């Protein structure tokens, strides 16, 4: 399997696994983005998208208005495309990049018109993609889960601490 998709209920540790995996892989060999929660005390107020080795942008905020919404979050699709997807456009042509990481393949990201093409290109690339993918049914993500070139790993809190090292060892053996 060329691509590994991590799934599981919210809060099970998908982002933590991907962040630790990036730390374990050789520096300069990983392209992609990670997400982080924006918090005000105990309340989650939004999400950041952080390009590995690059810029960070507010992906979504709990604010009224806007045409692109997921639940209570207004998604800034233009900023996501401009500051995350555009900087990553050249990653596939960079011979130093050996691993691709995306956190996450989900509803917010698919609101950006360029995301579907971006993720399709990364899934089709011969280098391994390791990504988190939305747990609940969502047709665009469900089609990706059914691809023959993906392996679905359902994450639990019990295995999240061991998984980054296992994935890193597996990936480093492949490339």
CATH of the domain at 18: 3.40.50.300
Q: Which residue has 């280098």 as its token pair?
A: 127
Distance in angstroms (rounded) separating the CA atoms of residues 65 and 119? 27
% of residues, the chain, pLDDT over 70? 98
Q: What is the pLDDT of residue 174?
A: 59
Mean pLDDT of the 124-134 span: 96
The alpha carbon torsion through 88, 92, 93, 94 (nearest 10 deg) reads: 70
pTM score, whole prediction: 0.93
Contacts by 87-93, CB closer than 8 A, 24 or more apart: 87/51, 87/54, 87/55, 88/31, 88/32, 88/33, 88/51, 88/118, 89/118, 91/31, 91/32, 92/121, 92/122, 92/125
Distance in angstroms (rounded) separating the CA atoms of residues 13 and 49? 17
Q: Quick one: pLDDT band at residue 37, thresholds 50, 70, 90?
A: very high
Mean pLDDT of the 99-114 span: 96
Answer yes or no: is pLDDT of 1 > 80. Answer: no
Enclosing domain of residue 169: 3-174
Interval 130-172: pLDDT, tens: 999 999 999 999 999 999 999 999 998 788 899 999 999 999 8
Total number of domains in the chain:
1
């Amino acid at each position: 399997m060329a691509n590994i998709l991590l799934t599981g209920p919210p809060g099970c540790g998908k982002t933590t696994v991907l962040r630790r995996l990036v730390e374990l892989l050789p520096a300069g060999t990983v392209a992609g983005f990670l997400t982080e929660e924006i918090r005000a005390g105990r309340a989650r107020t939004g999400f950041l998208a952080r390009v590995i080795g690059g810029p960070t942008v507010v992906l979504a905020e709990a604010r009224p208005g806007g045409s692109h919404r997921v639940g209570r979050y207004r998604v800034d699709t233009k900023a996501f495309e401009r500051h995350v997807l555009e900087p990553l456009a050249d990653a596939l042509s960079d011979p130093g990049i050996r691993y691709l990481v995306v956190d996450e393949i989900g509803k917010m990201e698919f609101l950006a018109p360029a995301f579907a093409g971006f993720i399709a290109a990364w899934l089709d690339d011969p280098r391994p993609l390791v990504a988190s993918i939305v747990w609940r049914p969502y047709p665009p993500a469900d089609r990706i889960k059914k691809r023959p070139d993906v392996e679905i790993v359902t994450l639990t809190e019990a295995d999240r601490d061991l998984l980054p090292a296992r994935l890193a060892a597996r990936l480093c053996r492949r490339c």
